Amino acid sequence: NAGVTQTPKFQVLKTGQSMTLQCAQDMNHEYMSWYRQDPGMGLRLIHYSVGAGITDQGEVPNGYNVSRSTTEDFPLRLLSAAPSQTSVYFCASSYFLAGAQETQYFGPGTRLLVL
Amino acid sequence: GQQLNQSPQSMFIQEGEDVSMNCTSSSIFNTWLWYKQDPGEGPVLLIALYKAGELTSNGRLTAQFGITRKDSFLNISASIPSDVGIYFCAGQGGTSYGKLTFGQGTILTVHP
């Protein structure tokens, strides 16, 4: 059971380039989320998904696209990278128990530098 | 949107001391989660709280879900050097499943 995995671990992009950050989980969790972490700002939600085929925007969605074709995978796409997207990106998955009980588990992160 | 205020922002303590940090929210949460993040790693779940008033322990860590459902605290007793890291609170409210709101984090430094 690998939990939540993310690739790549590090990436350097030039402004305007596109790329996809990969995220996969093997825990059969319904919910998956993408966060970015910037110094002094904690983690901010980019996009999230409550199941295959269903996605929604979080707090900072601009410049990012997501899709959820399977329960296991939740890729994050940057269509035209900007320096403001330099950050550490975390993917998380969670399960939901009866009575509004949710627990999220995080991947190791992808460190992105946009020049 | 929901706001979480976490305090203190940083703490410098001696090994063996107890630590306390807290989070307050502008709205009600159904779930409070406490995470620890080591440098270069993702957040690791320490304690999950699901009911108002709930007090839960995990070794030297104790956390409580506030009665008003708008606050939570985390205590670490008898700190050790490996407690160093960033501690985050996170809350989930209403029907916002899959969405967590995070506090800004508390940076803990423990001097041997």
Could you report the average pLDDT of every consecutive run of 10 residues in chain B (112 residues)?
84 96 92 92 91 94 96 97 95 76 93 90
- Kindly determine whether residue A106 and residue B42, on different chains, have CB atoms separated by under 8 Å: yes
Provide the sign of the torsion angle of the four alpha carbons A87, B94, A31, B63, taken in this order: positive
Residues A32-89: tens digit of each pLDDT: 999 999 987 789 999 999 889 999 999 899 999 999 999 999 999 999 999 999 999 9
CA distance A106 to A67: 19
Residue with tokens 């990012």: A64
DSSP-based three-state secondary structure for A72? coil
CA distance A43 to chain B (A): 6
Write down the pLDDT at residue A101: 57
Q: How many angstroms from the chain centroid is the CA of residue A36?
A: 8
A38 has a chain B CB within 8 A of its CB: no
Out of B6, B42, B101, name the one closest to residue A90 (CB): B42
What pLDDT does B110 receive? 95
Contact A106 B48 (CB under 8 A): no
Band of pLDDT at residue A14, cut at 50, 70 and 90 = very high
What type of residue sits at position B19? V
The verdict on B56 touching A (C-beta cutoff 8 Å) is no
